[in-house]
Chain A
Amino acid sequence: MPTLYDRGQKGRRALALPELTQPEEDLLRHIPEAMRRKSPPRLPEVSQPELVRHYTALSRLNYGVDTGFYPLGSCTMKYNPKLHEDLARLPGFTQLHPLLPEEEVQGALAVLWELSEYLKGIAGLPGVSLQPAAGAHGELTGMFLIKRYFEDRGELPRRHKILLPDSAHGTNPASAAMAGFRVVALPSDRRGLVDLEALKRNLDEEVAGIMLTVPNTLGLFEEDILEITRLVHEAGGLCYFDGANLNAFLGRARPGDMGADIFHFNLHKTFSTPHGGGGPGAGPIAVSAPLLPYLPVPEIVKEGETFRLNYDKPKTIGRVHPYFGNFLVMVRALAYILTLGDAGMREVSAAAVLAANYLRVRLKGTYKLPYDRLCKHEFVLSGEGLAEGIRTLDIAKRLIDYGFHPPTIYFPLIVREALMIEPTETEPKEVLDAFVEAMLKIAEEARTQPELLKGAPQRAPVKRLDEARAARQPVLRYPFPEG
Chain B
Amino acid sequence: MNPYIPHTERDIEAMLRAVGLPDVEALFSDIPEEVRRRFRPLGLPPRDEIWVSRYIAGLAERSTGRRLIPFLGAGLYDHYVPPLVGHILARSEFYTAYTPYQAEISQGTLTWMFEFQTMVCELTGLEVANASMYDGATALSEAVYMARRATGGSTVLVPKSLHPHVREVLATYAWAAGLRLVDVPYDEAGQIQLGEIPADTCALIVQEPNFFGVIEDLSGLKERLGKAFLIVYVNPIALGVLEPPGKFGADVVVGEGQVLGLPLSFGGPLLGLFATRMEHLRRMPGRISGRTVDAEGKEGYVMALQTREQHIRREEATSNICTNSALCALAATVYLGALGPEGLRRIALLSMERAHALAARVFALPGFRPAFRGPFLYEFAVACADAQASVERLRRHGIAVAGPALLRKCGVDNAFLVAVTEKRTPEELELFVRALAGKE
| Interface pair B135/A354, CB less than 8 Å apart | no
Residues in chain B near residue A37, CB distance under 8 A:
239-244, 345
In this complex, the member of A170, A355, A457 whose beta carbon has the largest number of chain B beta carbons within 10 angstroms is: A170
Interface size on A, residues (CB 8 A): 200
Chain B residues, Cβ within 8 Å of A427: 6
A-B contact pairs, 14 of them (CB 8 A): A52-B88, A61-B93, A63-B93, A67-B93, A93-B60, A99-B74, A170-B317, A177-B316, A252-B39, A278-B132, A319-B168, A323-B165, A329-B269, A465-B292
Question: In the complex, what's the smallest C-beta–C-beta distance from B12 to chain A, in angstroms?
Answer: 7
Cα(A455)–Cα(B294), bound, Å = 11
Which of A15, A122, A279, A321 has its CB near the most chain B CB atoms (within 10 A)?
A: A279
Partner among A46, A64, A111, A470 whose Cβ is within 8 Å of the Cβ of B59: A111
Give the residues from 391 to 428 in chain B that come closer than 8 angstroms, CB to CB, to chain A. Answer: 395, 400, 402-403, 406, 422
Does A43 contact B122, Cβ atoms closer than 8 Å? yes
Judge whether A385 is part of the interface by a CB distance below 8 angstroms. Answer: no
A201 at the interface (CB under 8 A from B): no
Interface residue stretch chosen among A21-29, A233-241, A285-293, A443-451: A21-29
Q: Which of B1, B18, B163, B312 contacts A347 (CB 8 A)?
A: B1
Greatest chain A CB density within 10 A among B55, B75, B112, B296 is at: B112
- Bound CA span A80–B96, Å: 7
Select A342's contact among B42, B168, B343, beta carbons within 8 Å: B42
Contact with B along A24-51 (1 / 0, CB 8 A): 1001101110111110111111101001
How many pairs of residues, A versus B, come closer than 8 Å at their CB atoms?
A: 687
Contact of B49 among A324, A339, A396, A425 (CB under 8 A): A339
Judge whether A90 and B56 touch: CB under 8 Å: yes
User: Which A residues between 251 and 265 are near B, CB-CB below 8 angstroms?
Assistant: 251-254, 257-258
Contact call A257/B38, Cβ cutoff below 8 A: yes
Give the chain A neighbours of B349 by CB distance below 8 A. Answer: 20, 24, 27-28
Q: Does A133 contact B (CB under 8 A)?
A: yes
Query: Given A96-B65, A97-B76, A322-B165, are A340 and B122 neighbors across the interface (CB < 8 Å)?
Result: no
Say yes or no: B117 contacts A477, CB within 8 Å. yes
Nearest-neighbor residue (CB-CB) of B14 within chain A: A429
Decide if A478 touches B217 in the complex (CB within 8 Å): no
Task: Determine how close the nearest CB of chain B comes to the CB of A323; give it in whole angstroms.
Answer: 3
Contact between chains at B65 and A100 (CB < 8 Å) = yes
* Chain B: CB-nearest residue to A358: B15
Least Cβ–Cβ distance between A24 and chain B, in angstroms: 6
A139-170 vs B, CB cutoff 8 Å, 1 = contact: the mask equals: 11001100100000000000000000000011
Q: At the interface, yes or no: B339 with Cβ under 8 Å from chain A?
A: yes
| B39 and A257 within 8 A (CB) | yes
A14, A278, A460, A475: the one contacting B326 at CB < 8 Å is: A278
| Residues in B neighbouring A18, C-beta threshold 8 A | 350, 422
Question: Hey, what's the 0/1 contact readout for A443-483 against B, CB within 8 Å counting as 1?
Answer: 00000000000010100111111110111001111100000
A18-B423 Cα distance, complex, nearest whole Å: 10
